[in-house]
Structure 1
Amino acid sequence: MTRYRNLALFLLLAAAWGSSFVAISAGLEYLPPVLFAALRYDIAGALMLAYAVYAVDRWRPVSRGEWTTVAVGAALLIGAYHVFLFVGQLHTTAAAAAVVVSLSPVLTTGFARALVPSDALSAVGVGGVCLGLVGVGVIVQPDPSNLFATDAVAKLLVFCAATAFALGGVLTRRIDADLPIETMEAWSMLGGAALMHVVSLGLGEPIEPAAWIHPEALGALAYLSLVASALGFLLYFDLLERLGAVEINMVSYVAPVFTALVGWLYLGEVIDTATAAGFALIACGFVLVKRRAIGREVAAIGRWRSSR
């Protein structure tokens, strides 16, 4: 029964995070990108902080290491990731963005190995990282005669988002700070929102509240703040404890399926062959990078079934 519960929560998380790319595309019709992202995390950060106060003993950072972890999370996991993602999605489809972001687990492994030379990737692992990058290249399809085409630049910005998220995840885990993950996420969200407000002002984005009250804009903001962020991260924390990092990383490869389905139903977006092929290459790259860990998980599932 527990495994069925975990599967149901896993699919719910994949649906919440996958459909969030569609909500971003919908909201960008009415709100400037960086301000949109900042408003999302104003709300989500406040909700997550309230949950941290309720759920954990230490709801605020104290030591220098804890504040450093929060600063890295705010700058990379929230700020840089969402600035690049929201700006990139102005000129690319939700499905393409979701597929490029699914490269994050592969990049995370690459960054982790790079920062620990004694734990270097094997030749097969390096091949997996390269295969994932090839997948991104297939999706972007850069034209040598026009490298700055709008669509190509947009997808490269989304790739920068995936890179920022992967690097931020590695750095926050390597900083010596015993901070509850709920507390780290809450303060990172609020700090990232503040940084994005500064970036929004620096870019001169228009502040026009009258445009934000459109039902679709309010719906997108509410969905991203309440479902994709607040509920999504609570599901993530629960599943991370129950399943472990390897299995929970697989959500990155199920989420694009929901993105494609919801994007087709709601926005009329159609997945092209290049996006599908790129997704397949990125997924294969993940399997090569994580082949040993995936093998252990498969063996564990086999032992669990045989013991029943």
Structure 2
Amino acid sequence: MTAPINFRMGAAEWGMLILLSILWGGSFFFLGIALREVPPFTLVLARLGLSSLLMLGFMAATRRTMARRAGLWPALFLLALLNTALPFSLFAYAQTQIASGLASILNATTPLWGVIVAHLFTPDEKATPAKLVGVGAGIAGVAVMIGGGALSGIGASLSAQLACLGATFCYALAGVYGRRFRAWGVGPLDVATGQLLAGALLILPVALFVDAPWRLALPGTATLFAIGGLALLSTTVAYFLYFSLIARAGATNALLVTLLIPVTAILLGTLLLGEVLLPRHWVGMALIAAGFVAIDGRLVGRFRVRRPA
């Protein structure tokens, strides 16, 4: 019998969420380098293909085998479609039409979709006023951090903006759908490995048809290192951590990582690249922190007036 999900996260779950945000926040750095020489669908294929090989190699080295269950692989292919192949492709299209700042703000709506989807399709992750207020504060914080300039293109390229929202909705569906593997007794390592392999197989014909990668020039050393970092850190390790977090804390909590990604990206830029924190960055981080406090609920609960029995 599996242990109950800890929807009110403890120190371990918050630590996993922060580490996951660092790994996925770093993906923007790797993508920025790799996309200079590699087209989007080929890069997605390289990312998923190399990651799946790394996971399979790890399983072989540790003498692990994939779980066996009727209907497991069809479920993994559906998860891969929702969590990698479809949203990666939608964002690849969207970022050819709109600025990355606007795409980041739209990406931050993922927890809102997560709250709605979890409320509709799970018996134990229901929406509450505190969750909705917290997610709203977090989205506002992301918008403030990125700056008002990112919103200047919000009236243009409607199809690209809908593509971003469609991708975030896919992420929310995948987060809730991914809960079933825990009930089946399929561990996070198996789910991550199967999803990455299925995602690579799904994106393979798209990359071959659209990009014709055999015609591309061999990328340089920096690009190869970027692809390696993207595959190892931002995909292989990150997805294992993500599915572990879903199993421990539920889909809604795991999807909160999209609110933390801009924070970690800006802090990493400050620490590693000497960038300066502006007042809007501090205000945005304060709003995101307030959102997390509201979603967690424990600090707010201490100030509630208790009625006498």
TM over 0.5, shorter chain: yes
2:156 matched residue in structure 1: 147
Structure 1 residues 258 and 123: alpha-carbon distance in aligned structure 2, compared to 1, 3 A threshold: closer
- Aligned pairs for 1:36-55 (under 5 A) are 36-54=43-61
CA contact (8 A) 1:132 1:286 kept: yes
Tell me the CA shift for residue 264 of structure 1. Answer: 7.4
Segments of structure 2 that go 5 or more residues without pairing to the other structure are 1-9, 303-309
Report how many aligned residue pairs link the two structures.
288
2:206 matched residue in structure 1: 199
Give distance in 1, aligned partners of 2:240 and 2:226. 19
1:76 matched residue in structure 2: 82
Structure 1 residues 100 and 12: alpha-carbon distance in aligned structure 2, compared to 1, 3 A threshold: same
- Aligned pairs for 1:251-270 (under 5 A) are 251-262=257-268
CA contact (8 A) 1:253 1:283 kept: no
Give distance in 2, aligned partners of 1:208 and 1:267. 35
- Aligned pairs for 1:269-308 (under 5 A) are 284-285=290-291, 287-288=293-294, 290-292=295-297
Q: TM-score, normalised by structure 1?
A: 0.70
- Aligned pairs for 1:230-269 (under 5 A) are 230-236=236-242, 244-245=249-250, 251-262=257-268
Structure with bigger helix share is: 1
SS where residue 211 of structure 2 aligns?
A: coil
Give distance in 2, aligned partners of 1:181 and 1:129. 26
Q: 2:26 aligns with which of 1, 19, 24?
A: 19
Tell me the CA shift for residue 186 of structure 1. Answer: 0.7
More displaced, 54-63 or 274-283? 274-283
Give distance in 2, aligned partners of 1:125 and 1:275. 23
Give distance in 2, aligned partners of 1:11 and 1:222. 22
Structure 1 residues 97 and 159: alpha-carbon distance in aligned structure 2, compared to 1, 3 A threshold: same
**RMSD of aligned residue pairs (Cα, Å):** 4.4
CA contact (8 A) 2:188 2:244 kept: no
Q: TM-score, normalised by structure 2?
A: 0.70
1:164 matched residue in structure 2: 170
Given residue 292 of structure 1, which amino acid in structure 2 is its aligned partner?
A: G
Tell me the CA shift for residue 270 of structure 1. Answer: 9.1
Tell me the CA shift for residue 195 of structure 1. Answer: 1.2
Given residue 49 of structure 1, which amino acid in structure 2 is its aligned partner?
A: L
Give distance in 2, aligned partners of 1:143 and 1:166. 25
Segments of structure 1 that go 5 or more residues without pairing to the other structure are 299-308
Q: 1:62 aligns with which of 58, 64, 69?
A: 69
Q: 2:39 aligns with which of 32, 41, 57?
A: 32
- Aligned pairs for 1:104-183 (under 5 A) are 104-116=110-122, 120-129=126-135, 141=151, 146-148=155-157, 157-174=163-180, 177-183=184-190
SS where residue 211 of structure 1 aligns?
A: coil
Give distance in 2, aligned partners of 1:206 and 1:273. 46
Deviation per CA, 1:83-108: give whole Å up to 9, x if none: 22334344666666555434433432
Give distance in 2, aligned partners of 1:10 and 1:135. 18
SS where residue 217 of structure 2 aligns?
A: helix
Deviation per CA, 1:205-237: give whole Å up to 9, x if none: 242565342122212111101122223345556
Give distance in 2, aligned partners of 1:98 and 1:278. 14
CA contact (8 A) 2:25 2:262 kept: yes
CA contact (8 A) 1:107 1:166 kept: yes
1:302 matched residue in structure 2: none
Give distance in 2, aligned partners of 1:162 and 1:229. 17
